[in-house]
Structure 1
Amino acid sequence: MEKLQVGRATLTWLKGGVNFLDGGAMFGVVPKALWGKKYPHNEKNQIELRTDPILLQVDGKNLLIESGIGKDKFTDKQIRNFGVREESFLEETLAELDLTVDDIDALLMTHLHFDHASGLTKKIAEEVYEPVFKNATIYTTAIEWNEMRNPNIRSVNTYWESNWQPVEEQVETFAEEIEIVKGLKMVYTGGHSDGHAIIIFEEADDCFIHMADLMPTHAHQNKLWALAYDDYPVTSVHEKESWMDYGYKRRAWYTFYHDAYYRAIKFNQNGEKVDELERVRYEYE
């Protein structure tokens, strides 16, 4: 498991699953001739996307950024359509750190699409689910939580009842921003989903920014490259422009949940890569 130290915060990437999605959908209107040079694809033009939660340990707290893709949550049709190749090994990777799901104090959910939120619950019987992280507070924006429970015709296939009903008593929402511990904030952006948020940690000269699905992979660094999955792509572009400029000036680390090749990248004020943390690939991959 890869680790990154940013100030007093320790980040460890867990193993939360993998799926393969259409590269054209992940890069929107960007031609394949351009995105194909930035991110590898297979013969079906699909790209590999991790769903790996980040264990964030700070001030004696065990926090998770996102929850992974979960286990036993998909039908055969969904496995095929969503390109699921591997389900979550979150509990196993926590065990390697001498932790269990009961040791998690909070989950920082940037949004609640199935590939981020399916790890929040587990199946215990047919159509019966229970929380995975029974001692944790689940943070998300009020807008996102409302849409999760009342999806529209476009979002109904990504906001699943099985992912929210069992945990509704654990959820704490916020409007514009919330400070989880000193220097660690969740900030509402919208864009990818109506209630999308990013995560920022700052301590003196140290900083990391988790852009979530505003910049799901390193290949999405270009401010204009928005996803076809984005509900509000113009908002995504403006928010990404703002937070990339901010992070460049701070020489911040940018962390990834979906990237199959990099866990984090640091850029200078000109947007040039000055440091990186690569993902270690397993022998069987």
Structure 2
Amino acid sequence: MERLERKGLTITWLNGGVTHMDGGAMFGVVPKPLWSKKYPHNERNQIELRTDPMLIEKDGYRILVETGIGNGRLDDKQKRNYGVLEESSIEKDLATLNLTTDDIDIVIMTHFHFDHAAGLVKEVQEKDMPVFENAIIYASDVEWAEVREPNIRSKNTYWEKNWKAIQHQVKTFKKEKEVIPGLHLIHTGGHSQGHSIIVLHHEGETFVHLADIMPTHAHTNPLWVLAYDDYPITSINEKQKWQEYAKQKDAIYLFYHDYKYRAIKWNNQGSIVDFVERAPSKYNK
């Protein structure tokens, strides 16, 4: 497990499983000769996308950002189609930290696509039960509304089995929610209509998690957006807006999906000046 530590703040990345998604879909209209220079792919043209939640420990709170793909939540066909080569070991990672799922106070959901939300629920004696039963789960009101009544496109990723058992734990917000002092959840739209990002301020530093409007370090170009985005122009505009904010704040970017980096700080010239690197991937040799 990789960690980013400051006085009074710890961010630990847990193993939420891995997917391998089509590289063309992940980079939209960007030609393969361009994006393949930035991010490796396998023989099926798929790129490795981690689904690794961030455990934020601050001010006595334990906050989980996203939940991974869980265990036993995808059938064999889905595992094959989404290139799932390992499932979640969050409970094992928490045990290493002398914690259990009961110790999580808050779960932040930037959105409820299956690769973020499947770890919310587990099956116990043929019944779906919450994984983090003591946690408040935050999401935007727009996202929560569509999760429960998906459209013809979004129904393929908003699965009832990922939210029905935890609906009593969900609290929603409009535009922006300060989850705890200094930790803001902000509705952006773009990737989904209800998509949100995270901005964290701590002891003079700023951390930003742009979630799936900038899922990897290779998506820094504002025009490089996903074919999966429901509202790509919104993604572009929001990415530009928050990249400028990050530049002004000299912020550190945090990642959920990146195969290589957990966190990166870029300078104004676009060079990486600081980073937290993930242990070498066994899927990209």
TM-score range for the pair, normalised by the shorter chain length: over 0.9
C-alpha contact 2:48 2:283 (8 A) present in aligned 1: no
Structure 2 unaligned blocks of 5 or more: none
Paired position in structure 2 for 1:146: 145
Paired position in structure 2 for 1:109: 109
Query: How many percent of aligned residue pairs carry the same amino acid?
Result: 57
Which amino acid in the other structure matches residue 36 of structure 2? Answer: G
User: Is residue 231 of structure 1 aligned with residue 230 of structure 2?
Assistant: yes
Q: 1:238 to 1:276 in 2, by over 3 A?
A: same
Paired position in structure 1 for 2:92: 92
C-alpha contact 2:260 2:281 (8 A) present in aligned 1: no
What is the CA–CA distance in structure 1 between the aligned matches of 2:58 and 2:236, rounded to whole Å?
A: 31
Paired position in structure 2 for 1:65: 65
**CA positional deviation for 1:9:** 2.2
**CA positional deviation for 1:282:** 6.6
SS in 1 for 2:155: coil
C-alpha contact 1:7 1:203 (8 A) present in aligned 2: no
Q: 1:233 to 1:283 in 2, by over 3 A?
A: closer
What is the CA–CA distance in structure 1 between the aligned matches of 2:258 and 2:132, rounded to whole Å?
A: 24
SS in 2 for 1:144: helix
What is the CA–CA distance in structure 2 between the aligned matches of 1:125 and 1:226, rounded to whole Å?
A: 41
Which amino acid in the other structure matches residue 56 of structure 2? Answer: L
What is the CA–CA distance in structure 2 between the aligned matches of 1:107 and 1:166, rounded to whole Å?
A: 15
What is the CA–CA distance in structure 1 between the aligned matches of 2:7 and 2:247, rounded to whole Å?
A: 17
**CA positional deviation for 1:8:** 3.2
C-alpha contact 2:106 2:135 (8 A) present in aligned 1: yes
What is the CA–CA distance in structure 2 between the aligned matches of 1:283 and 1:41, rounded to whole Å?
A: 13
Larger mean CA deviation between 106-115 and 262-271 belongs to 262-271
Map Cα deviations across residues 152-173 of structure 1 (whole Å, 9 max, x no partner).
Answer: 0001010011111100110000
User: Is residue 25 of structure 1 aligned with residue 25 of structure 2?
Assistant: yes
User: Is residue 212 of structure 1 aligned with residue 214 of structure 2?
Assistant: no
Structure 1 segment 136-215 matched on structure 2, within 5 A: 136-215=135-214
Larger mean CA deviation between 136-145 and 7-16 belongs to 7-16
C-alpha contact 1:7 1:206 (8 A) present in aligned 2: no
C-alpha contact 2:259 2:281 (8 A) present in aligned 1: no
User: Is residue 274 of structure 1 aligned with residue 265 of structure 2?
Assistant: no
Paired position in structure 2 for 1:135: 134
Structure 1 segment 45-56 matched on structure 2, within 5 A: 45-56=45-56
SS in 2 for 1:91: helix
SS in 1 for 2:115: helix
C-alpha contact 1:205 1:250 (8 A) present in aligned 2: no
Q: Give the aligned CA root-mean-square deviation in angstroms.
A: 1.3
Paired position in structure 1 for 2:243: 244
Q: 1:6 to 1:231 in 2, by over 3 A?
A: farther
SS in 1 for 2:185: strand
Paired position in structure 2 for 1:80: 80
What is the CA–CA distance in structure 1 between the aligned matches of 2:65 and 2:109, rounded to whole Å?
A: 6
Q: 1:79 to 1:284 in 2, by over 3 A?
A: closer
Which amino acid in the other structure matches residue 70 of structure 1? Answer: G
What is the CA–CA distance in structure 1 between the aligned matches of 2:164 and 2:6, rounded to whole Å?
A: 35
What is the CA–CA distance in structure 1 between the aligned matches of 2:200 and 2:270, rounded to whole Å?
A: 19
What is the CA–CA distance in structure 1 between the aligned matches of 2:229 and 2:283, rounded to whole Å?
A: 33
What is the CA–CA distance in structure 2 between the aligned matches of 1:104 and 1:75, rounded to whole Å?
A: 27
**CA positional deviation for 1:7:** 6.0
Larger mean CA deviation between 54-63 and 5-14 belongs to 5-14
Which amino acid in the other structure matches residue 33 of structure 1? Answer: P
Which amino acid in the other structure matches residue 172 of structure 1? Answer: K
**CA positional deviation for 1:269:** 3.0
C-alpha contact 2:18 2:49 (8 A) present in aligned 1: yes
Map Cα deviations across residues 171-197 of structure 1 (whole Å, 9 max, x no partner).
Answer: 000010000111110000000000000
Q: 1:61 to 1:140 in 2, by over 3 A?
A: same
TM-score normalised by L of structure 2: 0.97
Q: How many residues align?
A: 284
Q: 1:225 to 1:7 in 2, by over 3 A?
A: farther
